[in-house]
Structure 1
Amino acid sequence: MSQSSVFEQDREKPRVGSLARRIHGWSWQAFPIGMGTGAVYVTLSGLKSRSPTLITVETIFYFINIILFLLNSTTLLLQAIRTFYPRQALRLIKDPVKGIFVPLIVLSFATILIGTINYAVPTGHVHPNFIYALFWVYVSFSIIVCFPMLMIWFNNPHDLTTFTPAWAFLVFPMMLVGVVAFNVLKVIPSEEPRAIGILLTAYAFQGLGFFMTFFYICIYIIRIMMTGFLDGHQANGAFVACGPPGFTALALINLGKKAQEILPLHGLVSPEAGQIWYASSVMGALLLFGLAVFFFLFGALPYWFKVHKHLHEILGCWALTFPNVGWIATIRALGDIFELQGFFVWHLIMTIIMCTLWLVLFALTMLAFWKGKIFMAKDEDVIKDTLVEADVPKLTKYSESSSYV
């Protein structure tokens, strides 16, 4: 073939801009970055001593989280509209593996709601009534997103030897209702009837979410019995197993504390019901806390030897942050209950580690983004979803590796 013919072919080949490749290459796996950012201000807010400077730092992280949420949501919305790449958007949602990341938009919304309660309500910028409305928005949002994704996921067979705890993301939003609820109850007076509805809803969804995710954890134990520790990019998913017991322990303690106030005020169940609920919640939380710490060590000890040190898999490493928030926050709660200084020191150490980890992961994620290792589709993938399928019969089939699954 002559040099002029090659030149003519290159000239006729459609050109794809970097912005188009970014929009096409964006995925639901972007939301853990915001969730990891939320993990920072949630752990910082639990410190025993908080200065005005520290609160300012927390607020900065809160606004960073909002910006990331809006960026991710807007980009995925652009991807889905008709003039861009709706086929790619539908492909990501219907995929039985990549679809597990769709509920992360709900979890990201939960971190923003908790941050709003901590930083916007005390300053008077947001009214408690608005928080009450957002609570029911969150509950509805979690149901609307989780159930369709569960139907898609369970409609396909799955290989047990490739199982990862990250598959439990499909239920995580409903499991987190209890955590969101006790934060909402901070700004809703216990004597109001609305507090009863929030409390009962929280317990119901926390039970639903925890037991469903616990079934996933049981499958995870069976899987590693068959294949050994998770390796490669799946090694990150091992930390997801810390989430259900950790967040449930945190929810039980705080919901039990609120039940101690709410039930007697409304004369419900029995005069001692509030005390009984709280005492049993503390005992149950201790049991789950131990399980969460075990799963953390179970994932951390072999981690460095199992994980791939590849920059294009950096998104999976964000699983080291947000799933651990539950049991880390529970450390502080147990310190308050049993008045042991060791718990406060332990919580401070884990908070410092969480902040350091965020700095490292954020820097590496920005480096991977700048180098085009993440959120950057190939030219042929963009062209395939831009043109009619018949016009590009020989283009490479789309593929994108996930860093959790």
Structure 2
Amino acid sequence: MLPTRRVSDAEPEGTDGQVTWAGRLRHFTWAWFTLTMATGGFATLLSVQPHSFRGLKTIGAVVYIFDLVLFVFLVTSISARFVMYPGSLTKSLRHPSEALFFPTFWLSLPTIIGGMNNYGVAKTGPWLIVTLRVSFWLYCACTLLLAIGQYCYLFMNKTLLVKSMTPSWILPIFPVMLTGTLASILASNQPPDQRLPMIVAGVAAQGLGWTVAVMLYSVCLVRLFEYGLPVPNSRPGMFICVGPPGFTALAIIGMSNALPDNYGYLAAHAGAATALRAFALFTAVFIWMIGFWWFCIALISTVQGCRKMRFTLNWWAMVFPNTGFTISVIDIGNQLESQGIQWVGSIMSILIFIMWLFVICSHANAVRSGRIMMHGQDEDVGED
């Protein structure tokens, strides 16, 4: 049942005094796409398990289809909000908190496109390979424009202060960074003349995303040194900092493995592909430890404040960034042919599943009890 409390005169009220679903839909924010980010990431994680069993691929496909259903539901719901409440789209993109979650819509797309590759290529014709290639280039262009445009807007309007800095400041650069991750998934099924350009674009985009993320790390550290840990409700968002090292590590390993040995530059320079694969592996190991350090900081901070926390949509940060972190462990283990590292990746995958299950149950309970999608409770607070 919906909560009976009347929270705002701005919310439509039913005949029994309850806030209606139409009223609650006003607070359906961009941050809801963290749900499909995490679910799609989990489906991708299931497709790369080093220790598989009969039926795992089917389970992964079911999770992927569930993610597609969720994505359609979220797009429909947020579109309904913008139609029912004219002007709310513009306000959402200008709001100092909610606007930072606009990139989560774009972050949901790589897991959908990558899932098409992982679960669909083997069962369809060449048309899907072409579709994936076109999707890659469209995604690359759109996310580059997003990274430029949103940061320019933030710089010009000066709506964010260092003392209020959260890792969500990294989110606008995250989608273009995942262009490299997407290239690492798609490139191996592409013909050589199309594969190399995708890899070059992926490396460039991954480099942009990683570099900007590292610069924002310094702002985050200054904020932590000067003002201490964020309030308990915001601490799960600290796991966002785990994402750039994890996704960069898996991207450079995946792209190096997809290099066409006998095409173009690589054909003219014997041994270049082998050297690049070795370089990618040890670079991935080098930066993985940065992600582990941030993981430990985020974990300790979250556990320390967990008794004072209530559910917010940034809890999904405990899943999505950690899926990339876990896949990077699996990829490193595969490259080094280390059973020990692969088992660590498998154990981490089980923990990811447990966390995904916990957060999705908490999410559903928060909607039922009115702790989110209510006036003053969401990322759009103050918008109306």
TM-score of the two chains, using structure 1 as the length reference: 0.84
User: 23-32 or 157-166: which moved more?
Assistant: 157-166
Query: What is the CA-CA distance between 1:286 and the residue it aligns to?
Result: 0.8
Is 2:333 aligned against 1:364? no
Equivalent residue number for residue 110 of structure 1:
110
8 A Cα contact 1:142 1:174, kept in partner: yes
What amino acid maps onto 1:209 in structure 2? G
8 A Cα contact 2:184 2:252, kept in partner: no
Gaps in structure 2 of 5+ consecutive residues: 1-10
| Correspondence 1:203-218 to 2 at 5 A | 203-218=203-218
Gaps in structure 1 of 5+ consecutive residues: 1-12, 379-396, 401-405
8 A Cα contact 1:39 1:325, kept in partner: yes
Residue number among 315, 321, 331 corresponding to 2:319 in the alignment: 321
Query: What is the CA-CA distance between 1:145 and the residue it aligns to?
Result: 3.1
- What root-mean-square deviation, in Å, do the aligned CA atoms of Structure 1 and Structure 2 show? 2.2
Secondary structure class of the residue paired with 2:122: coil
User: 263-272 or 113-122: which moved more?
Assistant: 263-272
CA distance in 2, matches of 1:254, 1:274: 13
Equivalent residue number for residue 7 of structure 2:
none
CA distance in 1, matches of 2:166, 2:23: 29
Query: What is the CA-CA distance between 1:62 and the residue it aligns to?
Result: 0.5
Equivalent residue number for residue 35 of structure 2:
33
What amino acid maps onto 2:348 in structure 1? M
CA distance in 2, matches of 1:374, 1:295: 28
Is 2:21 aligned against 1:19? yes
CA distance in 1, matches of 2:55, 2:182: 26
Secondary structure class of the residue paired with 1:173: helix
User: 60-69 or 227-236: which moved more?
Assistant: 227-236
Query: What is the CA-CA distance between 1:398 and the residue it aligns to?
Result: 5.7
8 A Cα contact 2:179 2:202, kept in partner: yes
Equivalent residue number for residue 75 of structure 1:
77
Query: What is the CA-CA distance between 1:295 and the residue it aligns to?
Result: 0.9
8 A Cα contact 1:76 1:89, kept in partner: no
Query: What is the CA-CA distance between 1:111 and the residue it aligns to?
Result: 1.0
Residue number among 159, 176, 179 corresponding to 1:177 in the alignment: 179
CA distance in 2, matches of 1:165, 1:94: 18
Equivalent residue number for residue 194 of structure 1:
194
| Correspondence 1:6-405 to 2 at 5 A | 15=13, 18-81=20-83, 84-124=84-124, 127-157=128-158, 158-189=160-191, 191=192, 193-259=193-259, 262-268=260-266, 270-307=269-306, 309-311=308-310, 313-377=311-375, 399=382
Structure 1 residues 319 and 202, CA, compared in 2 at 3 Å: closer, same or farther?
Answer: same
CA distance in 1, matches of 2:352, 2:224: 27
8 A Cα contact 1:264 1:274, kept in partner: no
Equivalent residue number for residue 8 of structure 2:
none
8 A Cα contact 1:314 1:361, kept in partner: no
Structure 1 residues 273 and 74, CA, compared in 2 at 3 Å: closer, same or farther?
Answer: same
Secondary structure class of the residue paired with 2:189: coil
Query: What is the CA-CA distance between 1:309 and the residue it aligns to?
Result: 4.3
Query: What is the CA-CA distance between 1:58 and the residue it aligns to?
Result: 0.9
Secondary structure class of the residue paired with 1:295: helix
Query: What is the CA-CA distance between 1:127 and the residue it aligns to?
Result: 1.9
Secondary structure class of the residue paired with 1:25: coil
Post-superposition CA distance 1:280-307 (Å, at most 9, x none): 1112111111111111111112311124
Secondary structure class of the residue paired with 2:55: helix
8 A Cα contact 2:107 2:174, kept in partner: yes
| Number of residues of Structure 1 aligned to a counterpart in Structure 2 | 364
